[in-house]
Structure 1
Amino acid sequence: MSYELIAGVDLGSNSFRVQVGRVVGSRIHPLDTHKEPVRLGAGLTRDKMLDHASQQRAISALQRFGERLRGFAPATVRAVITDAMRVARNANVILPQAEAALGFPIEIIGGREEARLIFIGAINALPAAAHRRLVVDVGGGSTELVIGEGSEPLLMESLFMGGISYRQRFFPDGKVHKKSLRAAEVAAAREVEAIVADYQRCGWQEVVGCSGSAQEIAGILETNGLNPDGGSGISREGLARLRERLLRAGSAEALKLEGVSSDRLQILPGAIAIMSAVFSELAIERMIYSDGALALGVLYDLLGRFEHHDTRDETVLHFMRRYQVAEAQVRRVERTALTLLGQLIALDSSAHENDVHFLRWAVSLHEIGVSVAHAGFHRHGAYIVSNADMPGFSKRDQQRLALLILGQYGKLQKLAAMPAGDANWRLLLCLRLAVLVHRSRDDEALPNWSIKESPVGFELAVPADWLAACPSVAAALVDEALFWRRIGVTVQIKRLPDEVVLP
């Protein structure tokens, strides 16, 4: 770890936040936090498109964040975006503009990945404890609930309910009536019902709230003495008193209480309804508050990657065990694929570090689809990787991994949309050749063969006597060259010592 400062960017459905931290040993000391109430989720139309106004608010905030992060190395910044972009149908149009404004890549993360990062952030802002904690984060578009022991999450869930979405659904004019509030609470209770049994079986000793809604509610209860014992955090009775105050006021704007933030007025009724349902369904009496949440979790996850504790490696190992992958075959294919890639790029170069990681992961998971059916196993594997919850991987990461697994076998026209010159073509060729020569699944030594890029594709040089001794491999290489030719890439195969170009 050669960097002292790192930054995490949390692009939530209600607020955008950038947090800069200083790395001291294995700890992160927050130095600077900047937050803007963008209300991205409020810009989702009925047909799940982000409207122009919300896009402009987002771009303006990201430009300011980009100015704050100017001079940071790419490896020291990780930006994630959550529910609003997960559901937006025009996300693929907006994301490139957002990345250009920020100056760094932005990852769309899944709900359970968001829950995992929230848990990491929450527990790292609290004193260490060995007992189980239930962490609750009521956001603008989704609500995450995680049970963890020490620093290890055990159960993770992301529910499709949040302060903004409930505002639009139950309180569109801002008015809060007994009927609308009860309807919101019932809807939230139904969402929570699905996880109650599993969560109660797992159990917990302490409940932790984090992020803006929990902070807002806890602050109101503490400032106005609504908790029965005058204590901190959120109590069941204090929450019930706040609920009654909200009903009497008729809207969040009319609440005559200290500590109500103007930038959270719009989502407060929905947040209170959701929090009330969580307390009721899970029989919670008291919730403490943690200053750490998604942004801090992103920082600690980034630090883990620097220290070679990458959650993505653990996820891949878990998938290998889950789908009973043959480890010996993985080692064979990995060794050959990396040998080939090492002739095309410098494997130890920081510029190619990500490519090496993805080739390793693709090799490790290239046969997981066999667990579904051997026929079309590459398609089954790509489907699993595209749709599974994979801790540590963003949606974009999973799409890239799925592309490599899908492209390991068969015709290449299915990948024709990938632009020429994309680094994935290089990885695909190395993966496909390695899979091809190890079809026999034995440990016979391979000959010294070489590969290099040419102006029109690639050149592969293979000893002629080895090809003569392995006619099935020779025939497969002819087919491989034909697959590449059909998408406009020349893979020239030379027999050594005599040069013979196969059609």
Structure 2
Amino acid sequence: MNDTSPLSATATPPSLLAAIDLGSNSFHMVVAQLIDGEIKLQDVMSEKVQLAAGLDADKLLSEEAQQRGLECLARFAQRVSDLPRKAIRIVATNALREAVNSREFLERAEDIMQTSLEIIPGREEARLIYLGVCQTRPPQDGMRLVIDIGGGSTELVLGEKFQPRALESLEMGCVSFTQRYFPDGQISKAAFQKATYAALRELMSIQKRYRRLGWSNCVGSSGTIKAIRNACISLGLTEEHITARALDQLRQKILGYRHVDEITEVKAERRALLPAGLAILCAAFDSLGIREMACSEGALREGLLFEMAGRLQHEDIRERSISMLMRRYHVDRHQAERVERSALQALGQVSDSWGLNDPQHAQMLRWAAHTHEIGRAISHAQYHKHSAYLLQNSDIAGFTNLDRQQLALLARSHRRKFPKDDFKQLPDSRQQACRRLAVLLRLASLLHRNRSHVKMPPLQLTVDNKQLSLRFPAGWLEQQPLTQADLEQEAEYLKSLGLKLQVS
């Protein structure tokens, strides 16, 4: 869940909403405030309850498991005690769908929460997960495959933009599979193979249809998949996304252990469930031919929250986020647009030479032009550092951690000495492009230092190996002594990158 996102331009009284997800493994709650058309995160609570572990062979939910859930809900209830009942939505998923005595638990839970609880069908769960993912991920052309591995079930959705085309919930989850195949924490190739085959059998029911419909990008959500992604990154198997190769390498690594206690690649509370979750994800990759999977911060509870707020607007959530940052920090929009125009003009002239042809490069440069001055809201002195801090440490809806990191680096490096070593924190594959975008932003910002409404003359920027040539119309630069001095200083700064700036 991200910090803020607009609903409409209409001013409305502040109100609070709470979305609660009673999952098979964990209970989650998100509390958010609606202020003048914006959703602002207020609180997040999450507790590992493992309801699914309390189901016996007859699908009877044990008293111990019920008590774990009820004690968690008592803490949730205190947090939302001042909210009107209509502002709270509570949904239960697979464990309570399966439990034959679920009604008993619901009645006790409703007494605590003083509002109704819903057991939602698997496909409704899948729909809400898809909504949560779409509202917190950048829009994509073509079909998107969303996979969410829960404690008792796995949801798989194919959709285009905000419209699901295929929804499915399969009876396989990290808790139920742990009980079945890794009950004592022992890890063996035989047990892992059995778990994988069981998942493949479940996937057979959707395999042909999903492959026929196809997709252009794949996204995973919730704790199990994020834990697998983090394990892959910590082992150096991938830079950001889960790839088929990284997944296979992680599988081999885990199979080298004899017990879950030996697993150090994930947090302690995730170790027991990792082999089962990994087997399910490996099966999904194999069955559906997945090559790469990104991860989403949004899932079921975010989908609930956005649906409650009536926020089904088909727009790029990142554009909303950037606009909100500009409003929040009182950015000079005219100046931002001037810098944007010059930066994109320069990009268009060097994109081939510098390998900056990906549309995301232009997008990132444009967003940087819009936000590089947000630090002025704190202080003019060192404002580029303030801007970087705000961008790095804010929840920006639709932006991944890596996106925020790049945006912060562009803001940090747009003036003064070039912090070239800071770019080493990026994956190797991103460093060069980000440094080059920073150079373009620096030049554009410098050329508009006087913040004048007078239109800049056309400029010509060319790149030849390590030399940048910046040309202006004849006689123009001689009439701009401040710009001339700034460009001379910039030439000195760029030497640290091995670049020679020639101005004429």
| 1:56 paired residue among 67, 72, 76 | 67
Map 1:391-402 → 2, pairs under 5 A: none
Name the CA shift for 1:88/1:240 in 2 (closer, same or farther; >3 Å). Answer: same
Q: Secondary structure at the match of 1:304?
A: coil
Does the 8 A contact of 1:119 with 1:135 survive in 2? yes
Q: Does 1:80 align with 2:91?
A: yes
Gaps of 5+ in 1: 308-503
CA-atom RMSD, angstroms? Answer: 1.7
Distance of 2:298 and 2:110 partners within structure 1: 25
* 1:231-284: CA deviation from partner (whole Å, max 9, x where unpaired): 212111111111111111122221243xx1222222111100000000011111
| 2:100 paired residue among 89, 100, 116 | 89
| 1:168 paired residue among 179, 190, 200 | 179
Distance of 1:215 and 1:67 partners within structure 2: 29
Distance of 1:36 and 1:18 partners within structure 2: 9
Residue 44 of structure 1 is matched in structure 2 by 55
Does the 8 A contact of 1:19 with 1:33 survive in 2? yes
The CA deviation at 1:304 is 2.5
Distance of 2:115 and 2:211 partners within structure 1: 41
Map 1:304-453 → 2, pairs under 5 A: 304=310
The CA deviation at 1:26 is 6.0
Map 1:30-429 → 2, pairs under 5 A: 30-227=41-238, 231-257=239-265, 260-304=266-310
Distance of 2:45 and 2:63 partners within structure 1: 24
The CA deviation at 1:70 is 1.2
Amino acid at match of 2:305: L
Distance of 2:50 and 2:168 partners within structure 1: 23
Name the CA shift for 1:176/1:40 in 2 (closer, same or farther; >3 Å). Answer: same
Residue 18 of structure 1 is matched in structure 2 by 29
The CA deviation at 1:2 is 5.2
The CA deviation at 1:130 is 3.6
Amino acid at match of 2:154: T
Does the 8 A contact of 2:14 with 2:36 survive in 1? no
Q: Secondary structure at the match of 1:173?
A: coil
Does the 8 A contact of 2:13 with 2:35 survive in 1? no
Distance of 1:144 and 1:248 partners within structure 2: 29
TM-score by length of 2: 0.58
Does the 8 A contact of 2:26 with 2:48 survive in 1? yes
Amino acid at match of 2:202: E
Amino acid at match of 1:240: D
Distance of 1:111 and 1:27 partners within structure 2: 30
Amino acid at match of 2:184: D
Does the 8 A contact of 1:245 with 1:255 survive in 2? no
List 4+ stretches of structure 1 deviating above 4 A. 24-27
Deviates more, 1:166-175 or 1:272-281: 166-175
Distance of 2:37 and 2:130 partners within structure 1: 17
Distance of 1:168 and 1:274 partners within structure 2: 14
Amino acid at match of 1:182: Q
Distance of 1:146 and 1:256 partners within structure 2: 31
Distance of 1:85 and 1:42 partners within structure 2: 12
- Count, aligned residues: 302
Q: What is the identity percentage for the equivalent residue pairs of Structure 1 and Structure 2?
A: 40
* 1:373-413: CA deviation from partner (whole Å, max 9, x where unpaired): xxxxxxxxxxxxxxxxxxxxxxxxxxxxxxxxxxxxxxxxx
Distance of 2:141 and 2:32 partners within structure 1: 25
TM-score by length of 1: 0.58
Q: Secondary structure at the match of 1:104?
A: coil
Gaps of 5+ in 2: 1-11, 314-504
Amino acid at match of 2:136: A
Q: Does 1:4 align with 2:9?
A: no
The CA deviation at 1:104 is 2.2
Q: Secondary structure at the match of 1:249?
A: coil
Name the CA shift for 1:130/1:20 in 2 (closer, same or farther; >3 Å). Answer: farther
Amino acid at match of 2:252: E
Distance of 1:31 and 1:130 partners within structure 2: 32
